[in-house]
Amino acid sequence: MPNGRRAHPEHRDTSFDGMLNRAKFQKSLDLVRALGLSPEAVECLRRFAGITRKFPHEIVREVIEQTAREWNTALNRQPPQDPRA
């Protein structure tokens, strides 16, 4: 590093708000890890979250809510079950 300059410019936000956002992002990743997802799934969510500019836990929430809506629709199409069966 000549003259104390970085070889590559810093791409992330180095402001206080940027620091807070990175801390929130890390906390979101910790929430996703707490669900017991594989490291590969967590990494995929981390990368996708960076692309979509959402937090990883928000992506998980959206997927679960959409899945629940689909399951609810499918369950409502089923004929009622005989409770004696």
**Inside any domain, residue 8:** no
Q: Which range of residues forms the domain containing residue 61?
A: 15-77
**Inside any domain, residue 44:** yes
**Inside any domain, residue 2:** no
pLDDT of residue 5: 66
**Inside any domain, residue 83:** no
pLDDT tens string 28-47: 999 999 999 999 999 999 99
The structure tokens 């199409």 sit at 77
With beta carbons less than 8 A apart as the criterion, state whether 49 and 55 touch: yes
**Inside any domain, residue 9:** no
pTM: 0.72
What total of structural domains would you count in the chain?
Answer: 1
pLDDT tens string 56-72: 999 999 999 999 999 98
pLDDT band at 1 (very low <50, low <70, confident <90, very high): very low
DSSP class per residue in 21-67 = HHHHHHHHHHHHHHTT--HHHHHHHHHHHHHHTS-HHHHHHHHHHHH
